[in-house]
């Protein structure tokens, strides 16, 4: 583990390395406590590099050097210096190229950081992104050093019959003492962060795919023995991803094998190592008895995401870590489009926007704000953020909006053609679209460079006499840490003018801004657009499809918003109008409640919710999303300051109850209708019916104290979606009831040997609103099945409590923070990356009401003053306090 050197890495300091490593031969002699790694590196001095005397400095992280040779001869101790974190050859040979052989010794069994080579349930596996390879051997561990890897793995045949690495399989055979070996060769040069190795005793499910040019590919999914039956959906998703990338982006797979390995201890979701994706098993294993519909959708998206990286990330990688969004934002965009094509596009888009607003907006509006392409970092692990991933994806989506769909595809083709086999930059990417479109995207490029969510305000006025609509739009970008002055952005706003019949209206002419294909292009601070030839006053449907990730406020009549929520022909626009109405109401209501007044429960809004539920023309998944009121965190974010989570919870609960009481009978009938189902299928339409059914169950349960209906729903559930939903309703609406206690005990008994399902049990209890949940969470942290060493379990309990339980975590007495701080410090000693990630739950502390703000600050100061903080955690805590 590295100590904090305080070093800050800056984008402007980038320069190419003086040395290259065109070939890397690795031999692993695996042993849990004493693994030997022999790295034979062909080293070349780069053309144009400085004088021959330039030292060669290799990165390490906690390494133990066993021996060092150049061209087969030992290197004299005077010619190098070595520490766990660095190996410097003072004067490398004068020859243009030479072979350096580095032998290191590792203890994978003791590696609790889950970076580098470690053991998960007896299986050796690796995680090298971002800087884990330097925990395996001394290397130029940076993404612009591309090397062709040959890997020989030696291990005990009994405990590790399976030996996998990147690329294509080569020679295998026996060794003395019950050991054996396998050789893998990856012909595609790759950066060290894409290196992977897996060795252990796993079961495999195989399949085959033939690419459109006729290349047969052997597909393998490796899981723990006995879990083979839960891989069918992942395999199907993989094959659908492969076809989709050929069809939509023209990209074909390039190796003879594609392997996926599921492991139970993993810091992230999954990793796109070339030809050998390693997955958190949560994103591979699914069947109807153990996975919810959300799990199925996540598996589909993440399998696709990692597969798509083969072209966006692997074949074309990042020049340096500042360019992380080049692979992540682009690949998220690709997996979003894939899911939209596989499911309902409108529903998918609404879910994406909810996620973006829930995770990225608070980041952009708080102390951890950074541009999609950061300019500096102290710990790169802390930049695997919603901004890089989700906002990065939105920026790519906007490029498509700006240049048009066809030109976008041409730009992607040009990007692949130009940079295949290279380590590229965001500039390279955007240039491809400039070149195919002939457009100057320099103002657009600010989306990569400026942090903060732009604010857009709009106001429309209509003159019947002139048949003219005047639309005034203004943009501003708020200051963010380190960036007080902002430049004006190019904001593409998709829109529609909605006529009295709900259909979009046309216009004769427009002036004041570029308007093309239903998109207004804002480039100045203020635009005054005049639309002529408009016969009747239209309603304004602005930022359709969330074409730009901005905070939009439109000055408009409540009646217009209600109209759009019912009639906007664009389903996204319809949802957005409803959501704005709900958020505004809930904010007002929460303020009333905090001030000792009555809640706000508008009858027209309550009626609207009933009408949406009953509207058969809308697909069930859409109705389920519309009826899911903004979360407490959503309301808090939109309030922005002086946040009292208890008042927000009360406002939300009272509105749920008002809707439930007004439409109880109709909801019961609809619930019964949605409950009629044939055999289970994970497809989007069936999942949508289950989603609507379970949202309705929550409303019905909110009407009173009778826990029996939810308990019956729990007992009668025939799949995990329904079972988990019923348990959540019991826990949230009927806390402490006999039925709830019984269901919790039943769930635990049924799934105690199934970690992924038991995670749900922890998660549901951690999310139960109310200050008293902390005591339950404390008790769960002492449960024998809880361990801070397993990231999934930790996220299920502590991650859920801190990020999805506003009233429990932000308890006014600060006890929630105290519990959280103790856990974070314990985790940090083992796994800094995960500790730092969890700690971001405190990022919005400044927007709390004064009493809570004070205790949150105390909690952060306590973390900051703790001894021996990792560089990861210190970075987050100090930026959060700054």
Query: Is the Cβ of residue 288 or residue 335 nearer to Zn ion in the bound state?
Result: 335
Query: Is the four-CA dihedral 443, 444, 445, 447 of positive or negative sign?
Result: positive
* φ, ψ (nearest 5 deg) of residue 327: -90, -35
| Nearer of residues 332 and 456 to Zn ion, judged by Cβ | 332
- Segment lying near Zn ion (by CB under 5 A), choices 107-115, 239-247, 326-334, 335-343: 326-334
In the structure encoding, which two tokens stand for residue 209, read together? 């795919």
CB of 494 within 8 A of CB of 521? no
Task: Give, rounded to a whole angstrom, the gap between the first and last alpha carbons of the chain.
Answer: 25
Among 264, 255, 268, 205, CA closest to 234: 205
> Which one of 144-152, 331-339, 515-523, 790-798 is the stretch in contact with Zn ion (CB under 5 A)?
331-339
- For residue 55, the tally of other CB atoms under 10 A from its CB is 13
Contacts of 679 by beta carbon, 8 Å cutoff, 6+ apart: none
Helix-then-strand count for the chain, H and E: 29, 33
| Region label for 865, one of left (φ > 0), alpha (ψ between -120 and 50) or beta (otherwise) | alpha
Which CB sits closer to Zn ion, 280 or 475? Answer: 280
20 vs 303, which CB is nearer to Zn ion? 303
**Contacting range for Zn ion; rule: CB under 5 A; set: 72-80, 328-336, 372-380, 850-858:** 328-336
CB of 317 to Zn ion, least distance (A): 12
Q: How many residues bind Zn ion (CB under 5 A)?
A: 2
- Taking the least distance from each CB to Zn ion, the nearer of 309 and 663 is 309
Length of the chain: 882
What is the Cα–Cα distance from 671 to 662, expressed in whole angstroms? 15
Q: Could you tell me the smallest distance in angstroms from the CB atom of residue 190 to Zn ion?
A: 15
Binders of Zn ion in range 760-799 (CB under 5 A): none
Residues 190 and 149: their CA atoms lie apart, in Å, by: 8
Q: What minimum distance in Å lies between the beta carbon of 335 and Zn ion?
A: 9
Asked if residue 805 lies in contact with residue 773, where contact means CB atoms within 8 angstroms, the answer is yes
Residues 85 and 10 sit within 8 Å (Cβ to Cβ): no
Question: Of the listed pieces 140-148, 172-180, 324-332, 520-528, which binds Zn ion according to CB under 5 A?
Answer: 324-332
Active site residue 69: no
Minimum distance, C-beta of residue 782 to Zn ion, in the bound complex (Å): 35
Alpha helices (H) in 504-644, listed in sequence order? 558-567, 571-594, 603-614, 620-627, 632-639
Place of tokens 């002055």: 485
Place of tokens 């900051």: 864
CA distances to 459, 537, 668 from 501, rounded to whole Å, are: 22, 12, 31
Q: Shortest Cβ distance from residue 306 to Zn ion (Å)? A: 7
Helix or strand (DSSP H, E) at 730 = helix 720-733
Binders of Zn ion among 82-141, rule CB under 5 A? none
3-state secondary structure of 388: helix
Binding part of the chain for Zn ion, among 237-245, 277-285, 329-337, 427-435 by CB under 5 A, reads 329-337
Q: Which stretch binds Zn ion (CB under 5 A): 323-331, 461-469, 658-666, 691-699?
A: 323-331
Least separation in angstroms between CB 293 and Zn ion: 23
Please tell me which residue in 306, 379, 390, 632 is annotated as part of the active site.
306
* Residues between 165 and 184 that touch Zn ion (CB under 5 A): none
Window contacting Zn ion (CB under 5 A); options: 320-328, 367-375, 573-581, 624-632: 320-328
Q: With respect to Zn ion, which residue has the nearer C-beta, 388 or 776?
A: 388
State the Cα–Cα distance between residues 273 and 171, nearest whole angstrom: 21
3-state secondary structure 778-841: HHHHCCCCCCCCCHHHHHHHHHHHHHHCHHHHCCCCCHHHHHHHHHHHHHHHHCHHHHHHHHHH
The nearer residue to Zn ion, 312 or 480, going by C-beta atoms, is: 312
Looking at beta carbons only, is 248 or 677 nearer to Zn ion? 248
Q: Which is nearer to Zn ion, 120 or 331 (CB)?
A: 331
Q: How far is the CB of 331 from Zn ion (least distance, A)?
A: 5
CA 752, 758, 762, 765 torsion: positive or negative?
negative
- Nearest approach in angstroms of CB 224 to Zn ion is 24
Nearest CA to 86 out of 105, 61, 67 is that of 61
Closest distance to Zn ion from the beta carbon of 284 (Å) = 16
For 601, the 3-state DSSP assignment is coil
Q: Which is nearer to Zn ion, 331 or 806 (CB)?
A: 331
Give the interface segment with Zn ion, choosing from 90-98, 192-200, 327-335, 380-388 (CB under 5 A). 327-335
Kindly report the number of other CB atoms within 10 A of residue 14's CB atom: 15
Residue closer to Zn ion, measured from CB, 328 or 568: 328
Pairing of strands 519-522, 197-200: unpaired
Q: Within 725-744, which residues bind Zn ion (CB under 5 A)?
A: none
Least distance to Zn ion from the beta carbon of 130, Å?
Answer: 12
Shortest spacing between CB 285 and Zn ion, in angstroms:
20
Which residue has tokens 């989306």?
447
Contact residues for Zn ion (CB under 5 A)?
328, 331
Question: Known catalytic residues?
Answer: 306
């Amino acid at each position: 583990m590295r100590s904090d050197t305080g070093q800050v890495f800056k984008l402007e300091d980038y320069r190419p390395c003086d040395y290259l490593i065109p070939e890397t031969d690795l031999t692993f002699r695996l042993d849990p406590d004493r693994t030997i790694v022999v790295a034979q590196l062909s080293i070349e001095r780069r053309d144009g590099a400085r004088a021959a005397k330039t030292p060669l400095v290799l990165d390490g992280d906690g390494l133990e050097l066993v021996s060092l040779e150049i061209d087969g001869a030992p290197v004299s101790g005077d010619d190098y210096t070595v520490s766990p974190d660095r190996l410097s050859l003072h004067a490398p040979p004068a020859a243009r190229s030479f072979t350096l052989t580095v032998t290191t010794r590792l203890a994978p069994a003791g590696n609790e950081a889950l970076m580098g080579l470690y053991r998960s349930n007896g299986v050796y596996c690796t995680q090298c992104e971002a800087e884990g390879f330097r925990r395996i051997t001394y290397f130029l561990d940076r993404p612009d050093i591309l090397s062709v890897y040959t890997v020989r793995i030696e291990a005990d045949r009994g405990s590790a019959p399976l030996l996998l690495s990147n690329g294509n399989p080569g020679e295998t055979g026996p060794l003395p003492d019950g050991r054996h070996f396998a050789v893998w060769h990856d012909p595609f040069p790759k950066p060290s962060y894409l290196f992977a190795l897996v060795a252990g005793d796993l079961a495999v499910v195989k399949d085959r795919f033939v690419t459109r040019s006729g290349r047969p590919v052997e597909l393998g999914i490796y899981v723990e023995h006995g879990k083979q039956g839960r891989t069918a959906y992942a395999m199907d998703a993989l094959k659908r991803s492969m076809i989709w990338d050929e069809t939509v982006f023209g990209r074909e797979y390039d190796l003879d094998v594609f392997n996926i390995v599921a492991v139970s201890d993993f810091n992230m979701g999954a990793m796109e190592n070339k030809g050998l994706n390693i997955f958190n098993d949560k994103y591979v294993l699914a069947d109807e008895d153990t996975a919810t519909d959300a799990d199925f959708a996540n598996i589909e998206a993440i399998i696709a995401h990692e597969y798509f990286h083969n072209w966006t990330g692997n074949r074309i990688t990042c020049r340096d870590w500042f360019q992380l969004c080049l692979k992540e934002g682009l690949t998220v965009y690709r997996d979003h489009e894939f899911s939209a094509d596989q499911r309902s596009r409108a529903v998918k888009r609404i879910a994406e926007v909810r996620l973006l607003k829930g995770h990225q907006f608070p980041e952009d509006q708080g102390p951890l704000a950074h541009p999609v392409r950061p300019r500096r970092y102290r710990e790169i692990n802390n930049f695997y953020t919603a901004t890089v991933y989700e906002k990065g994806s939105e920026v790519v989506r906007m490029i498509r909006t700006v240049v048009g769909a066809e030109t976008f595809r041409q730009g992607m083709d040009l990007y692949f053609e130009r940079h295949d086999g290279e380590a590229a930059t965001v500039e390279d990417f955007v240039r491809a679209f400039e070149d195919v479109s002939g457009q100057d995207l320099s103002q657009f490029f600010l989306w990569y460079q400026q942090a903060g969510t732009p604010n857009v305000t709009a106001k429309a006025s209509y003159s019947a006499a002139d048949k003219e609509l005047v639309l005034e739009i203004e943009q501003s970008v708020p200051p963010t840490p380190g960036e007080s002055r902002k430049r004006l952005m190019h904001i593409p706003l998709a829109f529609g003018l909605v006529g009295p019949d709900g259909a979009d209206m046309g216009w004769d002419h427009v002036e004041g801004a570029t308007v093309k294909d239903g998109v207004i292009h804002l480039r100045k601070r203020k635009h005054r657009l005049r639309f002529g030839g408009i016969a009747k006053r239209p309603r304004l449907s602005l930022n359709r499809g969330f074409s730009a990730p901005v905070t939009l406020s439109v000055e408009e009549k409540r009646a217009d918003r209600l109209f759009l929520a019912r009639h906007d022909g664009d389903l996204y626009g319809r949802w957005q109008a409803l959501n704005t109405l709900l958020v505004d109401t809930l904010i007002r209501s929460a303020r009333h409640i905090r001030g000792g007044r009555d809640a706000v429960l508008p009858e027209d809004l309550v009626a609207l919710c009933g009408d949406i539920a009953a509207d058969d023309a809308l697909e069930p998944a859409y109705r389920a999303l519309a009826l899911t009121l903004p979360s407490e965190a959503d309301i808090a974010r939109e309030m922005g300051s002086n946040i009292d989570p208890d008042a927000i919870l009360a406002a939300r609960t009272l509105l749920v109850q008002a809707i439930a009481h007004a439409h109880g009978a109709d909801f019961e009938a609809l619930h019964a209708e949605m409950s009629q189902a044939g055999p289970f299928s994970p497809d989007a339409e069936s999942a949508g019916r289950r989603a609507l059914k379970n949202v309705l169950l929550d409303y019905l349960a909110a009407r009173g104290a009778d826990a029996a209906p939810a308990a019956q729903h729990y007992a009668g559930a025939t799949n995990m979606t329904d079972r988990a939903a019923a348990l959540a309703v019991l826990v949230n609406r009927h806390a402490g009831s006999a039925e709830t206690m019984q269901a919790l005990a039943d769930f635990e008994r049924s799934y105690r040997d199934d970690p992924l399902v038991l995670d749900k049990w922890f998660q549901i209890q951690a999310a139960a609103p109310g200050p008293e949940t902390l005591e339950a969470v404390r008790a769960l942290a002492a449960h024998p099945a809880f361990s801070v060493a397993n990231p999934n379990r930790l996220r299920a309990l502590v991650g859920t409590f801190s990020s999805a339980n506003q009233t429990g975590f932000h308890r006014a007495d600060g006890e929630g923070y105290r519990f959280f701080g103790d856990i974070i410090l314990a985790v940090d000693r083992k796994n800094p990356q995960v500790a730092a990630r969890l700690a971001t739950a405190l990022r919005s502390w400044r927007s709390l009401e004064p009493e809570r703000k004070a205790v949150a600050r105390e909690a952060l100061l306590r973390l900051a003053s703790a001894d021996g903080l990792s560089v990861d955690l210190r970075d987050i805590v100090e930026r959060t306090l700054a």
